[in-house]
A and B are shown apart, each in its own frame.
Chain A
Amino acid sequence: MSAFRLNLRDGVGTNLSDKSISFSFDGKSYRGIEGDTLASALLANGLSIIGRSFKYHRPRGVFTAGSEEPNALVTLHSGGRTEPNIRATEVELFEGLVARSQNRRPSVNFDLMAVNQLAGKAFSAGFYYKTFMGPALRGHKATRFWWVCEQFIRRAAGLGRGTTIPDPDHYARMNAFCDILVVGSGAAGLAAARRVAASGVRVIVCEESARAGGALASSPDFIDGEPAREWSADQIAELSAMDNVSILTRTTVQGYFDDNTFFAIERVTDHLAHKDRTVPRQRAWNIRAKSAVIATGALERPMVFAGNDRPGIMLADSARRYAVEFGTAPGRAVAVFTNNDTGWLAARDLAKAGVIVTAIVDVRTDIEASIRVLGEECRATIHSGSAIRSVKGMRGVNGIVIATYNELTGELGADSKTIACDCVAVSGGWSPAFHLTSQQGGKPVWDTELQAFLPGDPLQKWHGAGAMAGEFGLAQAFRSGEEAALKALADTGVAMPKQAAKIGSGPDIDGDEIDYAPAPVFEINSGGKSFVDLQHDVTAEDVRLAHREGFVSVEHLKRYTTLGMATDQGKTSNVTGLAIMAAASNKPIADTGTTRFRPPYTPVAMGAIAGEKYGHLAAERLTPMHDIHVESGAGMYANGPWMRPETYNLPGETVEQAYIRETKAVRAGVGIVDVSTLGKIDVQGPDAAEFLNRVYTNGFAKLPVGKARYGLMLREDGFLFDDGTTWRFDEHRYLMTTTTAGAGRVMEHLEYYRDFVWPDLKVALASVSDEWAGVAVAGPKSRELLKVCVKKCDVSDKGLPFMGLVDGVIADIPVKIARLSFSGELAFEVYCGAHWGSALWHALMSAGRKLDVVPYGLEALSTLRIEKGHVAGPELNGRTTPHDLGLSGMVSSKKNFVGSVLLQRETFSKQDRLQLVAVKSLDGQRIRGGSHLVAGSKDEPGISQGHTTSTCFSPELGCYISLALLEGGYKRHGEKLFATNPVRDAHVAIEVLSHHMVDPEGGRMRG
């Protein structure tokens, strides 16, 4: 293996096994070790340029060792599994992994788009807003220039390339409930988890990385005499064994929502070479916690200096972790640049792992002796009171030029010294990772002592612990973890025995004691190109330009420069950017404020958020006769949640031919149609009649037992809400039917009045839509058909008059038969228990065989009712009143009902309202759906005077017809207009008719 792989031994390569793995990057094969991340394996193989930046396409290398990585973005896998923009630092290596660099052409080492750098000064913040306007021409021409430029800009922008091949994997969800959620399993999280677990409450611990322990995994410290890593492994094993504790690794808590609802993503199979297909790729956890301990640690931030984006420059603690956890040297010779003590710890650990640390450059002059010793331990030259002036090398680091630095003025001295190195490990201090609490609206507070934002006061039940709360260092982490645990327990209401409620002394810690507060140095301004946001190429100069142009509020800074808007959401750049803006504005950072963090914490696969909905967007509702329709060759389509038959096509038949044949068969003989989808509501109680009387426009109090009545419902604003028939079974028991689409909302409407408006009425409402299968039997021969099969009841006109109800039996199935007609023909609706629905259908079909019964679908159902002038969904469009649809006769003036008062408003009686009419085609042309009624020619149609609502070919009238809403339509019967349909390229001469086209007297259905 390459020179970058260290000599693996105790304490070096703690994350690695001894198993070698092969993987590929940009088509070339490499080897890594089980336990590597893609980033550590690439570094170990000596690859330094991993990606290209967003704007200038500058070469970039690995900058961090975690989910905050801005630079090392790659595309994984291929085909439908293609995943762009994945951070190499987060990818666990497995055998056969295929990764590619992105945002480069032709290769990551030579990218033509890097010419953008040459125009760097012109590509400053706000560049796009100031140009590309093109010549000032009228109308569309004015935008055309930008439209052309935009095509190129869009292609140059973007990062990786997505795919249009569907993702073959699946996703799942888990709903979890716990007393306490612990986010993060480092020292603070572990301490909290131990404490709360002991009290017996239900605990969930979420850990972002593959194994629990957080920073303990690479800590050089000893706890209770054991190396921290081993100690934490023991603790975790103990916790895992407890019944009341779940530890979820590879699980990132992404969102913190109201009432302590947390959203986490578990990466279930992403790290596996061989995936079990029954196992989901990722699982979304919706966790409801009574309280939470948030121990998400802190993110190291860099300092900004000229040339700070070169491959080979990375965060100091990340460099340390590559050596300790992954046995990988981040460079052959590492220079450390820091403004705080943790940079020195990194240097010491790097050296201990076998990495050459050539120099430690610290902006501070005054450095504790105990810290200096660390530098001496690693035999680095020490340059205190110094800073980097520039970086040598174009595609990597050859060395750094340093100069003396004045901490008070922020100025570099005139001196300079060159230090040879190929890696700069930089530490600019630590930013607590309080993203989750900020999502909740908690306002962060700037801590001048720690030079960091802290989470601020909780708005919900959470308690911060460890570095996230500004409690840096192991001992503080343990103590704050325990404290947070006790507060969280108090939230859950679990009583703690006094003894147990004491904070213990915690484990015995043997380790470095350092000061975590950095010097307040964020930028070394030496005039060269210094990057604040590495991924979006936002420079310190861009921040100052934004200030110059008045974009000084943090939100303006972010939006104008795009600082913090890249895929890392500024995890390593926000604070530095604010500090530079604060300096430019001559304001303290505290007054500048910070932007709000928004969920998710890190980018989340959208399939995982959808969870089990991927591939199952919505449940399908099927009627009991569904399989029969499918077997009969009916074309099924989604009608809201329901699947319904459109037509039962014979071989070679079009949909239009089929519905015309079905309609004719009904009008001439008999047909049956599945009406099981109608909403059905059981209305019972001593006040049921009164209740119905209040919700319908027409009278229901006097509906006789054994009869049905058609009713209209309004909204309170007087517009039509729904319609249907209601059947009275006995004195106090009704069955209300609603439209298919209206079933749910009618139920809620009724419940609202029953519960909130008239709670004194004794009315019970129950949805029975699923209890009953319904079949309408329609046509002049429908009674004949029923007579063949019905037993135990009389279906003659006398026994079952129009709107009458009877109980009977068909093929041993108890049925209810109502004599209702939607088609205008003699017709019956036959209802039976849903589990008998298919048997009923078969019985009716076989009873009708000699009568040539046909099954008919929605298209014929619709044609029949259009011919009859019955309104349905397209006419009940939420903007029509009973008066508009010719239903004034249904509105009782003798009672008050829902909507009765506002229906009186003057506007509703205006004569020029859109009113229901029918229109018929005069020249045989088809009236297509969605036509408007106009007076003019195809080329100059004039304004719309109305529109068609439901169109069909009418076999009865022998022409195309439509119901329509026409301005003042009632008085315009006989008028000739055009049904214009420019989007369907049609313009049809029509005549306006009454909407009662077929059998207006109703003789047929009453016959």
Chain B
Amino acid sequence: MRYSAFAILKNALRGNRDWVPAWRKPEPRSTYDVIIVGGGGHGLSTAFYLASVHGITNVAVIEKGYLGSGNVGRNTTIVRSNYRLTPNSGFYEKSMELWRELSHALNYNVMFSPRGVLNLAHTPGQMDTHAERGNQMRLMGVQSELLDRDQVARLNPGLDVSGSARFPVHGGLLQPDAGNARHDAVAWGYARAADQLGVDILENTEVVGFLKDGERIAGVEVMRNGEPMEIRAAKTAVAVAGNTGRVMKMAGVDKLPIETTVLQAFVSESIKPIIPTVTTFGAGHLYVSQSDKGGLVFGGNIDYYNSYAQRGNLPVWEEVTGELIAMFPAFARLRLLRCWGGVMDMSMDGSPIIATGPLPGMYLNAGWCYGGFKATPASGWCFAHTIANDKAHRLNEAFTLERFKDGNPIDELGAGPTPWYH
């Protein structure tokens, strides 16, 4: 059923009884051309682009829980491409390009809202590094504007731009066409569109092992409704974010340049619109925007320790709220509604891996750190290309697994091989 205002009216008149499931709940086939392990944003978008761009529709997406149960439904919904290093800026701008047309491509309103992403600067030196990044963006065809303090103040009325602030605001770097999207809708929209192209989405199906033909990965063993079964495929792709270590161990890959940590996200009670852009604090680590529902959605640093727990601890609460109300002292009385955690696949340089391998018949999409949500379209697009052609696209050719040992990290922060600092 095609979604439109007309469809809504027509169905409303019939008491909304004729709507059908957004995607099928099929029984698995025994063989597929491609298996994608992980029914999150990246797995689903990979499936969609495999089917829509490469004509590969005999595809299964295997998800151990409910669809979109991982980070695609746990993030702070920020979409941007304001990167410093060339491989990143090219890749994320491709993502922006796909975001702009995504609702139409999927016939699903993902509510992409280009309201602007503003990074504050608090010293003259930081203004220079922002300018350096902004210029890189411009040279790569990405919009960017360097704002002075007054321009920042006009954009965000509640922001403390006074000289008495502990870290006074000097200005900021704005990517005007970056913004937010509705996270769940992205997962559901990709799922529905992929499903309509023939992709089988297998929920509540947990991969418990990999099948091998000699050295080659030949599919997966799964548990479904408490029953084990085998699903074979010529190509098996893994896109499981924080669970990468867990899943790859089953394939016999014991070690990777990835550590899993927990990142908490926060939302306040709903209020009428008060901050128009996504704004980040430059003297610490905080990003905040306001959802369409009215809640302030924000987050900061990861909890600095390996964790698969999907929940974090109190110190990050204190740090993050402290920074938020240092930026916006008027928000001290607004109330925090909810905090949750997602597990991040922190790579050794803070940048992702989209590559063939590490075993024959296998493809890996991982290392997204904080940045996975905005990458969803381009990640799937590039991963689909890589799977279909057994070769990386120009946009993801730097995102190899070998780059670390080769000494070619893509290290935006220059923090080095300490995943918890990226």
Contacts and interface: CB of A to CB of B under 8 A. Distances in A.
Interface of A: 54, 80-85, 119, 121-122, 124, 127-133, 136, 138-140, 142-143, 146-147, 150, 153-155, 157-167, 169, 171, 255, 257-258, 261, 263, 286, 439-441, 541, 545, 548-551, 553, 555-556, 559-560, 562, 566-567, 569, 598-600, 603-607, 609-611, 613-618, 620, 637-639, 646, 715-719, 721, 873-874, 877-879, 902, 905-908, 928-932, 934, 941-944, 947-948, 951, 980-984
17 contacts: A81-B333, A82-B333, A129-B108, A130-B3, A130-B109, A139-B101, A140-B177, A154-B294, A167-B325, A550-B23, A606-B336, A611-B318, A721-B416, A874-B128, A874-B129, A879-B409, A980-B139
Contact of A121 (B16, B144, B184, B407): B16
Contact of B334 (A127, A559, A606, A905): A606
A292 B335 CA distance: 26
B123 A167 contact: no
Interface stretch (B6-14, B30-38, B52-60, B367-375): B6-14
Contacts of A131: 3-5, 8, 109
Contacts of B109: 128-133, 146
A878 B418 CA distance: 12
Given A132-B109, A555-B69, A569 B338 contact: yes
Given A157-B270, A716-B417, A255 B314 contact: yes
Contacts of B114: 140, 143, 147
A550 B113 contact: no
Question: Which of A263, A550, A560 has the most chain B CB atoms inside 10 A of its CB?
Answer: A550
Contacts of B9: 122
Interface in B147-166: 157-158, 160, 166
Given A83-B333, A130-B7, A166-B332, 20 more contacts: A131-B5, A143-B112, A161-B271, A257-B314, A549-B22, A550-B23, A555-B69, A567-B270, A598-B338, A606-B325, A610-B324, A613-B321, A638-B122, A879-B409, A907-B407, A907-B408, A930-B129, A930-B134, A932-B136, A982-B139
Nearest to B303: A258
B389 interface: no
B196 interface: no
Given A158-B273, A286-B314, A606 B324 contact: yes
Contacts of A930: 127-135
Nearest to A876: B414
B174 to A, nearest CB: 10
A982 B12 contact: no
B255 interface: no
B345 to A, nearest CB: 20
Nearest to B135: A932
Nearest to B281: A617
Contacts of A604: 335-336
A160 B333 CA distance: 13
Contacts, number: 359
A54 B270 contact: yes
B103 interface: yes
Given A128-B109, A132-B109, A133-B104, A161 B272 contact: yes
Interface of B: 3-5, 7-9, 12-13, 15-17, 19-23, 25, 65-67, 69, 73, 86, 97, 99-101, 103-104, 107-109, 111-114, 122-125, 127-136, 138-139, 144-146, 157-158, 160, 166-168, 173, 177, 182, 184-185, 188-189, 203, 268-274, 283-284, 290, 292-294, 309, 311, 313-314, 317-318, 321-326, 328-340, 406-409, 411, 413-417
Contacts of A157: 270, 292-294
Contacts of B274: 162, 164
B16 A541 contact: yes
B166 A618 contact: yes
A322 to B, nearest CB: 25
Nearest to B144: A983
Nearest to B127: A929
A158 to B, nearest CB: 3
A600 B336 contact: yes
B123 A639 contact: yes
B339 A128 contact: no
A142 B111 contact: no
B135 A982 contact: yes
Contacts of A611: 318
Contacts of B111: 128, 132, 146, 150
Contact of A638 (B4, B144, B167, B324): B167
A166 B330 contact: yes
A984 B124 CA distance: 14
A113 B100 CA distance: 31
Contacts of B113: 143, 146-147, 150
B135 A717 contact: no
Kindly name the residue among A80, A155, A167, A879 whose own CB sees the greatest number of chain B CB atoms within 10 A: A879
B251 to A, nearest CB: 27
B141 to A, nearest CB: 11
Contacts of B104: 133, 136, 142
Interface centre among A171, A549, A610, A948 (most CB of B within 10 A): A610
Contact of B4 (A130, A878, A907, A981): A130
A631 B30 CA distance: 80
A614 B330 contact: no
A618 B101 CA distance: 43
Contacts of B16: 121, 124, 541, 545, 548
Contacts of B415: 878
